Structure 1
Amino acid sequence: MNRSKSMGWFCGVALCVGTAGAAAQTVDTTLKVASLPLSTSDRIDGFIVHYKPGTRAPSTTAVQAFTAARSLVAAKTATLSTNALRAASFRFARATASGGMVVRAGKALDGTAAMALMKQVAADPNVESVEPNVRMHAFRDIRPADATTGTPNDPSFSYQWHFRAGDGTMETIGKDTQSFANYGGSNAVKAWSLAQGDGVVVAVIDTGATQHPDLDTSLTDQSYDFISDAFVSGRAADGRARGAWDQGDWTTGDTYLASNGGCVDYTSVQPEDSSWHGTHVMGNVAELTDNGVGMAGVAYKARVLPVRALGHCGGSTSDIADAVVWAAGGHVDGLDDNTHPAQVINMSLGGGGACNASTDLGKAIATAIDRGATVVVAAGNSGEDAANTSPANCPGVITVASNGITGKPAFYSNYGSVVTLSAPGGGGYANDASSGTLVAAGFAWSAINAGTTVPSTPTYGSMAGTSQATPEVAGAVALMISARAKAGLATLTPGQIKTYLARTARAFPQRPSQAYGAGILDTYAAVQRAMVVSDPTADAIALVNGVPTKYQGDGTASEVLFKLVVPAKARGLTLRTLGGSGDVTLLVSKDTAPSVASAQYTSAHVGNNESVTINNAAPGTYYLLVTGITGGTTFSAMGLYTQ
């Protein structure tokens, strides 16, 4: 097997002052520093560095690299060498499951100093990538406390407009006095005639689970709290712990003030009670249904594997990345392997960060997809381009925007070419406006907890956000997988699932001004499509020897298949992608369509220039599967052989 990129453990050699200075003159660090722009207002307290394959690096190597880089940066650029940078100390925290070295700074650095430091470390030719270990958060949804609609005291599926057909039926939700035409529902109810999620495990990487009579929490004790920082986890000591129970993520009180090392600055971050975000997401995925209690879930016979990665002030990229690997069945040092690997991973979280094939989270998600897990993530609630939000911008994920009951994109929802489709997450205000009166029809409803800090009484409540749209899609994926298995059909790849979701999406009632993906989730249509027997090679695009074929992603497919017929006595076969924009991966097999798990040849670099060369190629049809395509991806595919 010819693999031009290894996804295994990476390591490197120490960066000394002399070699770092020389390397900085000759090594282009532009693509090696995986970070969005940072400013003096940013606070960075950790980094993740990956070394190139085959380079030996003990745990001290990365620490020495940052220590040496600190001296060089402080000496060369006085404006950046603040007292904090000059006095900065570094320590090795751990290795990630994807081979990254996590280095903690003794005290947070401002973004400008952190960027200069990373560029200096990246100047070492043995470094593959370096990135800030940024803090991610459960997206700040519009919270139930903001609404004056009340919560149901009795079984009340009627509140869950987001599960219904989206066919324009007038609905009055809860205590609302106004009716709205439901064009935004996911059509999950109709899909229950085809599947209910049996046999599927959905991992919810979030704040963890709370006890609730309408949730199956039986896998919680078998999972983990991945938060390695005691301040964030609320536990007594650093390190990870068995059990994914939500202990609360409140940020009220002096402990969580930015001046005390927390996140609350009363400007961009306000103090908040515990969100019970993970519980609400779990309920949307698989709340128990037809049990005479509470509400319903999309894939109510699926099992949810909660994984705690978010606590007070969020959670680190490195912890979240390890949670992704573990949830999919991969190994994480120091933890027992997951005995219930997830076929679907829900991530209703994010932050400002770069994500590509060389970053730790990008590698973790690639590992999960390699293992057959479909990764569904929230686009974010900032009303901006999701390309600036991770993991929404990670290759291979299904990125979900949010719409309200009327079918309008939610005013807060992120958008852009990385978005796959929209799903009902609630618009908050009447008629899905950007302001006005909060209404019950403006929210997604699910299980929650009544505690303001630690868990107390289980109850039901509402949130609006891409965080709530995402489990609608994750539940739909679980139904697709379940229906397919029930029909005895071959398992769909994550790429196929993404394509089917996009191609069965329902058009928005009115064309939005921004790109919110292929349309609104239609769960019934997606499950129907998943049950169709199809030959993936039938739609392969034929290549002509030596002629580049251009391809433009339109947001409806995350992968595309090409084929080249190679005659007898061909020599020097080269199959490649080139040019354009994006970050694709090339998979090649002879006489059968490849998948991530079955490809005979793989090329995976940052960017679109991928190539597989086969000497003395046997005659036959060679299939090229190009993955990692988004709405903004362009490239050319080409096959070349000589006779």
Structure 2
Amino acid sequence: MNNNVFRMGVLAAALAAAMATTAGFAAAVSPTGNPARMNLTALQGQPSFDRFIVTYRQGSSERTNRAAAVQNVGAALNRAGLVRAGRSVAGAPASVSVRYQRKLAVGADLLRTSRPLDRSEAAALIRQLSTDPAVAYVVPDVLRHRVRDVPASKLLQPQTVTPNDTYYAKYQWNLKAPDGAVTTEGHANLGGTNVNNAWDLSDGTGVVIAVLDTGITTHVDVDTSLGDAGYDFIEDSLVSGRATDGRVPGGWDTGDWTTEEPWLTECTDADHPPEDSSWHGTHVASTAGAELTNNAVGMAGIAHGAKILPVRVLGHCGGYDSDINDAIVWAAGGHVDGVPDNTHPAKVINLSLGGAGNCPASDPAAQAVAAANALGAVVVVSAGNENIDASQASPASCPGVITVASTGITSRRAFYSNYGSAVEIAAPGGGVYENDASSGTQVNDGFIWQALNSGTTTPVPDDDSYGGYAGTSQASPHVTGTVALMQSARLAAGMALMTPAEVLATLQQTAHAPSVAPPANRGIGAGIVDANAAMRAAIGEDGGPGEAVVLTNGVTLAGQSGSAASSTVYTLVVPAGAMALSLRTYGGSGNVSLYAKVGAAGSASDYGYKSTRPGNSESVVVARPAAGTWYVTVVGETAFAGVSVLGSFRAPH
């Protein structure tokens, strides 16, 4: 059984080297460019680039005219010293030209140079483009990779399929309650997600989960009913493995091996050794919910009543940002030129992939996430497996995503897992070794077990293989499946679906603290996801926020209104170590009062803090707020309308 996977982008060179210019071009290159209009951090992740994503300003001719865009990049190439008059001198880099590729769903343009540029040449071009008034933002089109997970030894693999999901009892500690119950391996389970108790009320029915990965393969224990409804977004023929460039219908995994030409030469190096096909998407999708459950075969999936929409964005060599970003928009129900609209829009999207570089709000990846969020889709992302701060990884650092770190059966942060302020929550990804140590002997309950495929290159049809992986790739679908359970429960209760911000707040409010706390400088968010608590909180049970309005740190909620004597409750999750909490109402008409309390809704007779000035400008400021859920009750002293509510704090470092 194949368990190899690609490495997430690794730091291949210092950023200073990536930003340097060659001596021959130095005189023509702007020394700094415009930092607000470019992102050079992703240049760390690979040695050369021939694709660039340029966002042109609204109203510029380049925004709507392909020829103007090509001319614009050509001029930047010339300023960077990459266009050489006459014949090239022997041994010198060839002169560079540019051609137009396509318009992305977020409105940016993809352009391709006639030859790959090394890091310094790419940096020079990006800097020159960033100085052009027509350019709003420019980034290289980076090849992302599925997170490099740790494969379980073949000695640990299940050998035969037995009735009644028997493998669930032995292998799937991750879906059980973190109550210390001893596993068949003799280990106390303190890291599970309590999915088994959530199944009493929800199985994900009515929700579509999109898994953006290598695609999916047919398997006796996997629901692939939306396989044809998915899409293969890989445009480049080298990456897709097809004879010609272009995207095709169907989310099927045709293999991503790199042990043969042309991929052996084009895709492999010290950081990305030759590997058999990974079938990564099948494993990830199975964890989220594709694995058939209670069917007397194999394993169980989290939201097994949901439908899994497979979207292929990773192939041989990985997958380009430009394809991944389009796929995010499409999966959520947005339009992508040249692709039929998605007939099964997803309400939760899983991305178990990534690479080097940060992702500010102006980045096309962040814009794609924002578009998906606006369509109501929650985007869940792996934090990465480099044991670094996730702020250095993309899309883990994109605003609007839920970034997931990995923990093991003891609840300890997995030794490989990325961490830091960019991480919102943690979930089981597997600790690999006994007691979640960083080395030693592999154990069954050090991995996440699901369906796989036994093919080394192309897939074996209707396979019956299973395998274990450990990584943040496995952690993120636990959160993805939990979100589907939450939304499904609300649908069953006749309630509106939660917004992405409400989902995140509820996940964080109900997460359980790890028994083995991470160091202060290795944070893993609010704790470990608790599927049962989150699902019940989503429908107002067990002390959850119910119909409270969820606030997001620093995000104004405008247009609030109410009648005289009305009472509206808002919640804001404040992490440990946060400073300068501010709870405010302002603007609009009428008169309101504000009552704040930690842990439960307050009122005029029961509050921790209050502000009752005439009018709508109310404010509570707490220098060192207690960690937990803060409830903000806004009471209409008279009828009010157009009021803004804002909760903000300074996040811990």
Q: TM-score range by the shorter chain?
A: 0.7 to 0.9
CA distance in 1, matches of 2:551, 2:144: 42
Q: Deviations over 1:272-325 (max 9, x none)?
A: 111100000111011111111111000010000000000001000000000001
> Residue 396 of structure 1 corresponds to which residue in structure 2?
400
> Residue 167 of structure 1 corresponds to which residue in structure 2?
179
From the superposition, tell whether residues 483 and 55 of structure 1 become closer, same or farther in structure 2 (CA, over 3 Å).
Answer: same
Does 2:399 correspond to 1:383?
no
Answer whether contact 1:71 1:86 (CA < 8 A) is retained: no
CA distance in 2, matches of 1:76, 1:55: 24
Please state whether the residue corresponding to 1:238 is helix, strand or coil.
Answer: coil
Q: CA deviation at 1:87?
A: 1.4
> Residue 546 of structure 1 corresponds to which residue in structure 2?
none
CA distance in 1, matches of 2:43, 2:227: 37
Q: How many residue pairs end up in the alignment?
A: 544
> Residue 34 of structure 1 corresponds to which residue in structure 2?
39
From the superposition, tell whether residues 427 and 26 of structure 1 become closer, same or farther in structure 2 (CA, over 3 Å).
Answer: closer
Q: CA deviation at 1:630?
A: 9.6
Q: CA deviation at 1:366?
A: 0.4
Please state whether the residue corresponding to 1:182 is helix, strand or coil.
Answer: coil
RMSD (Å) for aligned C-alpha atoms: 3.2
Please state whether the residue corresponding to 1:245 is helix, strand or coil.
Answer: coil
1:134 is matched with which residue: 142, 165, 184? 142
From the superposition, tell whether residues 318 and 562 of structure 1 become closer, same or farther in structure 2 (CA, over 3 Å).
Answer: farther
Gaps of 5+ in 2: 1-27, 541-545, 557-571, 592-615, 617-638
Matches within 5 A, 1:393-542: 393-456=397-460, 457-513=463-519, 514-532=522-540, 533-536=546-549
> Residue 157 of structure 1 corresponds to which residue in structure 2?
168
> Residue 105 of structure 1 corresponds to which residue in structure 2?
113
CA distance in 1, matches of 2:44, 2:313: 26
Q: CA deviation at 1:440?
A: 1.1
> Residue 97 of structure 2 corresponds to which residue in structure 1?
89
Matches within 5 A, 1:198-237: 198-237=205-244
Gaps of 5+ in 1: 1-22, 174-178, 544-550, 570-590, 592-617, 634-643
2:362 is matched with which residue: 345, 358, 363? 358
CA distance in 2, matches of 1:366, 1:541: 16
CA distance in 2, matches of 1:556, 1:524: 27
Does 2:386 correspond to 1:369?
no
Does 2:257 correspond to 1:272?
no
Does 2:318 correspond to 1:314?
yes
Please state whether the residue corresponding to 1:34 is helix, strand or coil.
Answer: coil
CA distance in 2, matches of 1:556, 1:333: 46
Does 2:257 correspond to 1:245?
no
The residue type paired with residue 440 of structure 2 is: G
> Residue 193 of structure 1 corresponds to which residue in structure 2?
200
CA distance in 1, matches of 2:220, 2:577: 39
The residue type paired with residue 508 of structure 2 is: A
Q: CA deviation at 1:75?
A: 7.6
Q: CA deviation at 1:562?
A: 4.4
CA distance in 2, matches of 1:540, 1:69: 40
> Residue 599 of structure 1 corresponds to which residue in structure 2?
none
CA distance in 2, matches of 1:542, 1:43: 38
The residue type paired with residue 164 of structure 1 is: K
Please state whether the residue corresponding to 1:351 is helix, strand or coil.
Answer: strand
Q: CA deviation at 1:431?
A: 1.1
Q: Greater shift after overlay, 97-106 or 364-373?
A: 97-106
Q: Deviations over 1:315-359 (max 9, x none)?
A: 000000000010000001111101110000001011113322222
Identity of aligned residues (%): 47
From the superposition, tell whether residues 422 and 493 of structure 1 become closer, same or farther in structure 2 (CA, over 3 Å).
Answer: same
CA distance in 2, matches of 1:537, 1:180: 38
CA distance in 2, matches of 1:540, 1:435: 39
TM-score by length of 2: 0.78
The residue type paired with residue 371 of structure 1 is: L
Q: CA deviation at 1:624?
A: 4.2
The residue type paired with residue 463 of structure 1 is: Y
2:284 is matched with which residue: 277, 281, 285? 281
The residue type paired with residue 563 of structure 1 is: T
> Residue 132 of structure 2 corresponds to which residue in structure 1?
124
Please state whether the residue corresponding to 1:74 is helix, strand or coil.
Answer: coil
Answer whether contact 1:39 1:110 (CA < 8 A) is retained: no
From the superposition, tell whether residues 136 and 540 of structure 1 become closer, same or farther in structure 2 (CA, over 3 Å).
Answer: closer
Please state whether the residue corresponding to 1:297 is helix, strand or coil.
Answer: coil
From the superposition, tell whether residues 37 and 475 of structure 1 become closer, same or farther in structure 2 (CA, over 3 Å).
Answer: closer
From the superposition, tell whether residues 538 and 275 of structure 1 become closer, same or farther in structure 2 (CA, over 3 Å).
Answer: closer
Q: Deviations over 1:542-600 (max 9, x none)?
A: 99xxxxxxx9973899x99842154579xxxxxxxxxxxxxxxxxxxxx9xxxxxxxxx
2:641 is matched with which residue: 615, 620, 625? 620
Q: Deviations over 1:89-114 (max 9, x none)?
A: 22111110111110112222111211
Structure 1 residue runs of 4 or more that deviate by more than 6 Å after TM superposition: 23-28, 81-84, 537-543
Q: Deviations over 1:502-524 (max 9, x none)?
A: 11111111221211111111111
Q: CA deviation at 1:37?
A: 6.1
Q: Deviations over 1:110-149 (max 9, x none)?
A: 11211111010111112110001000011011123x4521
Q: CA deviation at 1:362?
A: 0.9
CA distance in 2, matches of 1:502, 1:437: 33
> Residue 624 of structure 2 corresponds to which residue in structure 1?
none
Q: CA deviation at 1:484?
A: 1.2
CA distance in 2, matches of 1:502, 1:333: 37
The residue type paired with residue 160 of structure 2 is: N
Please state whether the residue corresponding to 1:394 is helix, strand or coil.
Answer: coil
Q: CA deviation at 1:253?
A: 2.4
Does 2:76 correspond to 1:55?
no
> Residue 600 of structure 1 corresponds to which residue in structure 2?
none
CA distance in 2, matches of 1:69, 1:82: 24
Q: CA deviation at 1:63?
A: 2.3
Answer whether contact 1:211 1:458 (CA < 8 A) is retained: no
Please state whether the residue corresponding to 1:307 is helix, strand or coil.
Answer: strand
CA distance in 2, matches of 1:402, 1:138: 15
TM-score by length of 1: 0.79
Q: Deviations over 1:451-509 (max 9, x none)?
A: 11110133111111100011010000000001111112222110010011111111111
From the superposition, tell whether residues 132 and 538 of structure 1 become closer, same or farther in structure 2 (CA, over 3 Å).
Answer: closer
CA distance in 1, matches of 2:82, 2:267: 31
The residue type paired with residue 191 of structure 1 is: A
> Residue 575 of structure 2 corresponds to which residue in structure 1?
554
Answer whether contact 2:588 2:642 (CA < 8 A) is retained: yes
Answer whether contact 1:40 1:111 (CA < 8 A) is retained: no
The residue type paired with residue 414 of structure 1 is: N
Answer whether contact 2:406 2:429 (CA < 8 A) is retained: yes
CA distance in 2, matches of 1:195, 1:309: 30
From the superposition, tell whether residues 625 and 297 of structure 1 become closer, same or farther in structure 2 (CA, over 3 Å).
Answer: farther
CA distance in 1, matches of 2:493, 2:228: 32
Answer whether contact 2:108 2:364 (CA < 8 A) is retained: yes
From the superposition, tell whether residues 301 and 630 of structure 1 become closer, same or farther in structure 2 (CA, over 3 Å).
Answer: farther
Answer whether contact 2:215 2:310 (CA < 8 A) is retained: yes
The residue type paired with residue 144 of structure 2 is: M
Does 2:193 correspond to 1:182?
no
CA distance in 2, matches of 1:404, 1:541: 33
The residue type paired with residue 622 of structure 1 is: V
CA distance in 2, matches of 1:46, 1:471: 30
> Residue 49 of structure 2 corresponds to which residue in structure 1?
44
Please state whether the residue corresponding to 2:110 is helix, strand or coil.
Answer: strand
